[in-house]
Structures are given as structure tokens and as C-alpha cells.
Structure 1
Amino acid sequence: MSKKYDAIVIGAGIIGACVGFELAKRGKKVLNVDKLSGAGFGSTSGSCAIIRLHYSTPDGVAMAREGYYYWLDWLKYLKAVDKTGMVKYINTGCMVIKTEKNNYLKDVMASLDALHVVYEELDSDGVKKLLPIADTHQFGPPKLPSDKGFGEPTNDTIAGAIYVPESGLISDPKQSVHNVQVAGEAAGGEYLFKAEVKQILKKNGRCAGIKLSDGTEIEAPVVINVAGPHSYQLNEMAGVIEGMNIKTRPLRQEVCHVPAPEGFDYNNLGTIISDGDVGCYSRPEIGNHVLIGSEDPACDHLEYIDDPDNYNQNFTDQWTAQVLRVAQRLENLPIPGPGKSQGVVDLYDASDDWIPIYDKSDLPGFYMAVGTSGNQYKNAPVAGVLMAELIEACENGHDHDRDPVKFTMHYTRRECDIGFYSRLRKINPNSSFSVIG
């Protein structure tokens, strides 16, 4: 293996793989390095892999809409067949519950309208017709199971919902990264696993490569931090934290898998549900199960982690709280007893406002695609193109901080202003400050 490259991507999750793939397609000699033993073995493997279009701003919808078409046309995007198996996009539709906190989805519907995304407004009867096992009482705002009144309706009915039929999930998030790895290698990219980065090399005031834990030095004028929950540590190594107004931190999350209500074929008749009224999202999971994640309601304690290599990987009361919340919405949802909890405990790489950072840094040649966990899996192919456009412009002398790089997205033909994802931005008040983004 050569020790000199045009670019090194630190990270081999879904976004890191897509960044490497896009750079390789442009003729760059690119290396993806990862401390784990294979592509997608990190936080991507714990992703819920949801592909949904609802955001509260047109720019958010546009990015998701663009990403949707890449997943829909996966083989044409990759132009390579992974003999170990190609992932599939599974359309389930998505129902989003109206709440006071989300402004009864007025901003979401306006944003969907701006991108001509089809959706249907539902009253409580419409929700019941779409999903017969739904309890349409209002229970929110979300509470802890220990709080007085938990599980008791706060109104006869929810305020309604919208249903977006073009929404779904990817069959295997870890395998999706292997698909991109195969395509990247076919385009000339390389991968190095079990390789822990210990130092960001610098020369003449700019990034010059990386040094690994075994002492190996690999030279490259461009290094991209796509290290997921370890991204903060990499930014510290590079000495770029002080130049960032928005930062990232690892956030511990629990995802629950529970059996669907008996007698209901949830795999085929269920849907993704974004339910701010109970503070959780859910989707069909293989084996006629329901997958449940938190929408991080205000009543919950967010557990940020100092060391992403050392955190509690066991289920806690948070798992039970999430299942009980969704049991308010899904009638007869089984509640597994002690010792029968199933699911995933993993880390998000969360930014201060839950919007990712796709940007350069104060160290020339050092770039970052960080703060992406929870809601950017769906956007990974677009993020790969975005980072390639950004790097090409900046390495050719463009001042991105003063004049943000823009590019036209392939499918939607909409202009993407990369400055929206700047490390220098102010906290975005329009964010949900949750996994919703």
C-alpha cells in the first residue's frame, strides 16, 4: 500500500464511505481508514436506516428528497455489484403526528409543498383507518413513566397527522456501507481497517496526513474527519476546536425492538411513525417487530459521553420508558419483562443544534463531516457529493467562509448552499433540537 494519497477519509461508516467514493470517482487517490475491522461496523451498524422526507424547512426537505432518489436508484448510483448482497429500499410510508410543539406541522407541510412532495392530511379517524391498531387519544406532552398521569389521555384525540407515502427504510445499514466500499474500490479507492489515528500531521501551516497508533505515517494534503462519535477527538488532534462555533459530542442512545401486537402483520401493514405526542419514533422491524427510538423529549435526560470507547452498553430505564410511551399509541403492544429487552445501545455524533457540520476547518486541508448521527443516514450519498464539491473548491483557492460554496443537486436540480452547514453558524432556532433535525 502506498503511503501517499490525494485524500484520507477518517471513518468508514456510511457517510465516510460515500465521501471516499465521490472523491475516487473524481480521480483522486483516496484512502478510507477506520479503527474497526470493517466498513459500517461503527455507529452506522446501529442506525435505524430510515429514509424520510419531512423536515421543517425547504432546504431540509430538498436534501432528504435528493438522498431518497439515490437510495431508490442504488445500483445506478454505485455502478458496481457487491457480490455479498445489495441492500434494498423498503417503502413503508411515514405518519407524522401533529402537536403544539411542531406547530401542528404547518412548517413541515409548507416545506413539503415547496418540493412538491405528496402527503395526505389525516384526522384521528384517518389515522385509525391507516393504522387500525393506533390509539388516537392525545397523551402529550411526553412524560416519564414515574410522572403523575403517565398513560392517561390529556385530550380525547390527537390534533391529526400527515402521511407521506414516499418514506421507508434500508434493509441493512451495515451492508449498505459494504456496497459503497465495493463501488469505491472499483473506482480506485482503498480501505485500511484496524488503523487507529493518533495524530494529524501538519507541514507549513496546513494538514499533511495522519499518524497511526503503530507509528505508520500516511501523507495526504487533504484529510476529512468523518469519525462519527469520535469526531470531537479528531478535531482536538487537529487543533481546530477553538475555531468552531458549533461543536459535536457523543450522545448515548437506546433503540428498542419489541414484538408487534398479536394478530397484526406489522412488517407489511405497519408504517414509520414520528410521534412527538409520546416522544418517540417507530418503524416496522424484521420478525414482525416494532423498532422504537426516542425523539428526545424535554422530560428525558440526554446522556452525553466523554469517552466514546467506554460507555454503558446495557439497557436502562430509558428502554422501558420508550416502550411504554409507544404502547400508549399502539394498542396491545407487548411489554417484555425483565431480562427480555432487545435492541441496540449505541452513540450518536450530535452537534449543538442537531444539524450536521459539513465544512472546512481553520487548518487548511482538514475538513469535517460531523454531527451527522440520528438523521443523516438518509442523506449520506448527497453528503458525499457535497463534501467532494467543497473540497475541490477550497483546494482550488475558494474562500468558503466568506463566500459559501454552492452546487446544483443532481436529481432535484435545486441549489445547495453548503454554508448552511458551517462550523461558524449560530445555533439554528428552527431546529427541533432532537433526532428529527
Structure 2
Amino acid sequence: MKTADAVIIGAGVIGSAIAYELSRAGRSVLVLDRGRGPGQGSTSASSAVVRFNYSTWTGVVTAWESKHRWEAWEDYLGGRDGGRLARFHRTGGLCLDSPNQSAEKVLGLFDQVGVPYEVWSPEDLRLRLPLVDTGRHYPPKPVAEDAFWDEPTGSIGGYWTPDAGFVDDPAFAAHNLMVAAQRLGASFRFGATVTGVRKEGGRVLGVTLDDGTRLDSPVLVNAAGPHSGVVNELAGALEDFRITTRPLRQEVHEIPGVTAYSPGVPLVADLDLGTYFRGTPAGNILVGGTEPECDPLVWLDDPDDTSLTPTQEIYEAQTYRVARRVPEATVPPRPRGIVGVYDVSSDWVPIYDRTSVDGYYVAIGTSGNQFKNAPVVGELMARLIGAVEDGQGHDTDPVQVPLAHTGHVADLSHYSRLRTPAATSGTVMG
């Protein structure tokens, strides 16, 4: 007996968004998650940045469309969640010049998509954002090396996007999506671990849980974050994937804010030094890394086999770089931060696609840069599933999704498992 029209594995912000959009499309939905609630995995460790500077047209379009949904979050969800909602803070965002990401290419994409921006010279930067030092330090260097403290080799500017910002509570954003989906009839089951994917004749039949429960559904969606690889193996669906995924351990830290700068700290992407940072609602500074070549990446064979305690080494690497860029910043001696695990694709672009197993779909490889896109990803996946289940051959006739706010059309072949790896920054910047 069919349990639901669609079963989704993973109740993070991506899985919950898919649940909401499938429910809006009239499907009965069951979401399974081994955690205690929505958004308790990698979503809870997200910096929840909303930016638009991707290396591809579809990446920019998806992010720009998503911004409009974050701005009208209550309208998009069709109601509130216990009296409150996650909130989008529009702070503006600065991307400093760096060879790691071509400003000319990104700004050309902005022009095509319609993303507003301003190009700032070093002099503009000193005037408009005086808390930021304009020294050029490229390439990024390990903070333990003497060369890290060398004097700047020149000055840099960048480009400013006034519509960038962040969402104040990423886990609660997933909760908002869950409640919105539940209003439309979706069910969520927590503490549920999938141990088997049942198939017959090349098509999904359902899943088996660790307690032996068998759940039947003609559609199964893998949105399991860093555990997505395990689910893919259970489904036996990897035979034609040209893009691979791996779990990557990441840390994000928090330091005191700069009280002398009253507007608050905006979003700053600093590939010149290898870091990014933004303000927080409490007035602190949230700090993360951009995977500079000088920093070793912590790849994991098992996403559960890692310490969730922030390390002194990574804390110093991230915060000392911010202190070079923001001389008034204070770096306490001990780390205060969180640890998360990214589900990273081989080109840092996600896979939103069908698979060779009929009825089995994936929303994986989100690479630490897709939280902002969740509202649109939910729609992309719902449209993809609807089209393929109705007989469209997506692998040869890619699904096209019109986007309501911007008027653009998203070509979902961009997110195909069969694609040639995209030419991106090779980092979280996408």
C-alpha cells in the first residue's frame, strides 16, 4: 500500500523546501530524517549568506530569484510559524578583487540577469566602507608563516551588491518550511534512519527503516546532505554519474563586532586573504573560509566520524585573516564557533536531477553554497519530478522552469548528474 506520493530523505532546508513545493503541487509527502527536528544537520551550521556572485549564469539566476522569496518570506510560505519567521537581513555585500574569481565574468552575468551592483575602486572602498583595509595580500598564506604578516603589495577595490545579506536563523528557516508543508498535508518523521531502498524492474518501490518499517512510494528524493552518498549506494544509482560528491568538514567562528562602526558589518567575501565574514543580529562578526590553496581541506570518509569541536588552528586561520582586513576587529584567544559537514560536488555545483533508477531523484552536492537557493530549489525539484513522472525525458530534453519574480528560465541541465564539470572557482563561492 502506498505510504505517500513522494518520500524525501532529509529535513534540512533543501529537503523541507522540496516537501513544501511538492505539497503545493498536490502530492502527498512524507519526509524522513534521522535527527531530532528540521534543519539540525548541516543546515544548522550554515552561515545563511544571501549573495549572487556565482561563476555560472544559472547559479546567478537561481540566487537572484531566491532573494525575492526571502524578502517576502511570509507571503511565499502562506503564513507564519508559531508567530515568528526566520528573517532576511539586507546588509549589502562586498566582494574584494581577487584572481580566484573573475569580476569581469561575474559582473557580465549580473548585467545579463539584472542584479544591481557598483564597482568600487580602493578610494571608493575607503570612503564607503572605512572599517575595511584595502591592502592587497594575494595569494592567501598560512597564518603560521611569517609571510602572512608581510606588508600589503598594493591596494584593492571590489564590487558591491546592495541586495546581499543573510538569514538570521538557518535551522528555523527549515522549520518554517516544514510548518508550511505540514499546513498542506505533508508529514515529517524524525529519528528515522533509512537502511534500505527497495526497487523492482529498475524502479523505486520504497524504503526500509532501521526499525524494520517498510514505507512504499513511487518517488524517492535524496536530500540527505553529507549522508547523500550512503543513500545513493543503497539505491544503486551511481552508475552514470559524471559528478561525484564527498563530505567535507568545515568550521565557522564568531568574534566580537566593531562597535565604532554603527551601520554594522556587511557581508564581505575576501578571496584575497581567503575568508568571508558578515555581521550577526547580536552585533558580532561571523567568520568562515573560502578554501584557499594554502589551507588543507578535511575530507571525510564517514560524515559522522569527525569532531564537532572547533579547532584552534582553523579558528586562528579564519579570524586572523579578518583582523588583517578589519584592523579594529578583536580576536579572543579561544574559539567560539560551530562545525558542520558540507556535501561537496566535484565542481562545487549541486546535482538536482533524476537518476538511472526510475522514481529516484537527488538534491545533493550542495557544496556549502545552496542555503540561499532553497526556496527556488524546492520549486526546481518539484517541477523536475512532475515533468519526469509525466514522461519527459529530462536527460535529452531538459526541464525548463520559468521563474516568477525575475522572468528568467532555469535550464535544469545545469544541475545534471551527466554534465561536464562546470568551470567554477572550485570553492564554496561556486
CA-to-aligned-CA distance 1:233-260 (integer Å, 9 cap, x gap): 1001111122211011110001010112
Cα separation, 2, equivalents of 1:354 and 1:234: 20
SS in structure 2 of the partner of residue 378 of structure 1? helix
**RMSD of Structure 2 on Structure 1 (CA):** 1.3
Instruction: Confirm whether residue 412 of structure 1 aligns to residue 430 of structure 2.
Output: no
Instruction: Using the aligned pairs only, state the percent identity.
Output: 39
Superposed counterparts of 1:102-121, under 5 Å? 102-103=101-102, 105-121=103-119
Whether contact under 8 Å (1:143, 1:150) holds in the other structure is yes
Residue equivalent to 1:195: 192
What residue in structure 2 maps to residue 144 of structure 1?
142
Paired letter, 2:370: Q
Aligned amino acid, residue 436 of structure 1 = M
After the TM superposition, which residues 162-177 of structure 1 pair with which residues of structure 2 at under 5 Å, given as runs?
Answer: 162-177=159-174
Match of 1:333 in 2: 329
| 1:205 CA displacement | 2.1
CA contact (8 A) 1:197 1:211 kept: yes
CA distance in 2, matches of 1:48, 1:19: 21
Partner of residue 133, structure 1: 131
Where 2:131 maps in the other structure, the secondary structure is: coil
Q: Which residue of 2 aligns with 1:97?
A: 96
1:348-367 Cα offsets, whole Å, 9 max, x none, are 11100100000011111100
1:32-85 C-alpha deviation (Å, 9 max, x unpaired)? 110001111111111111111222333221111110111111111110221152
8 Å CA contact 1:139, 1:328 repeated in 2: no
Q: What TM-score does the superposition give when structure 2 sets the normalisation length?
A: 0.97
Match of 1:298 in 2: 293
Q: Which amino acid is 2:50 matched to?
A: I
Q: Hey, what's the Cα distance between the residues in 1 that align with 2:307 and 2:292? A: 21
C-alpha contact 1:348 1:374 (8 A) present in aligned 2: yes
The count of aligned residue pairs is 429
Alignment partner, residue 322 of structure 1 = 318
Counterpart AA for 1:133:
L
- Note if contact 1:262-1:332 (Cα within 8 Å) is conserved in structure 2: no
Shift of residue 3 of structure 1? 6.1
State whether residues 8 and 224 of structure 1, in contact with CA within 8 Å, keep that contact through their aligned partners in structure 2.
yes
Q: Retained in 2: the 8 A contact 1:31–1:189?
A: yes
| Paired letter, 2:101 | N
Contact 1:63 1:379 in 2 (8 A): yes
1:271-286 counterparts in 2 under 5 A?
271-286=266-281
Is the partner of 1:363 in helix, strand or coil? coil
Q: What is the CA-CA distance between 1:423 and the residue it aligns to?
A: 0.6
Letter in 1 for 2:60: V
Q: Does 1:28 align with 2:27?
A: yes
Q: In the aligned structure 2, how far is the partner of 1:55 from the partner of 1:42? A: 24
1:285 maps to a residue whose letter is: T
SS at match of 1:419: helix
Cα pair 1:87 1:170 within 8 Å, conserved: yes
Q: 1:349 aligns with which of 343, 350, 365?
A: 343
Shift of 1:185: 0.6
Partner of 1:311: 306
Q: 1:403 aligns with which of 397, 401, 404?
A: 397
TM-score, normalization by structure 1 = 0.96
* Pick aligned residue for 2:226 from 224, 229, 245: 229
Offset of 1:152 from its aligned partner?
A: 1.6
SS at match of 2:231: helix
1:116-154 Cα distance to aligned partner (Å, 9 max, x none): 221111111211222222111111110001234112234
Q: Is the CA contact 1:80–1:182 (under 8 Å) kept in the aligned structure 2?
A: no
> For structure 1, which segment, 17-26 or 143-152, has the greater mean C-alpha deviation from structure 2 after superposition?
143-152
Cα displacement (A) at 1:263: 3.1
Q: 2-side partners of 1:310 and 1:45: how far apart?
A: 18
Deviation track 1:282-330 (CA, whole Å, cap 9, x = no partner) reads 0002332111111101111111111111212222211211111111100
- 1:239 matches 2:233: no
Distance 1:167 1:38 in 2: 29
Distance in 2 between the 1:271 and 1:143 partners? Answer: 24
SS at match of 1:372: coil
Report the more deviating stretch, 56-65 or 198-207. 56-65
Does 2:53 match 1:60?
no
User: Is the aligned partner of 1:377 residue 2:371?
Assistant: yes
- Secondary structure of the residue that 2:383 maps to in structure 1? helix
Aligned residues of 1:131 and 1:270 also touching (Cα < 8 A): no
- What is the SS of the residue equivalent to 2:338? strand
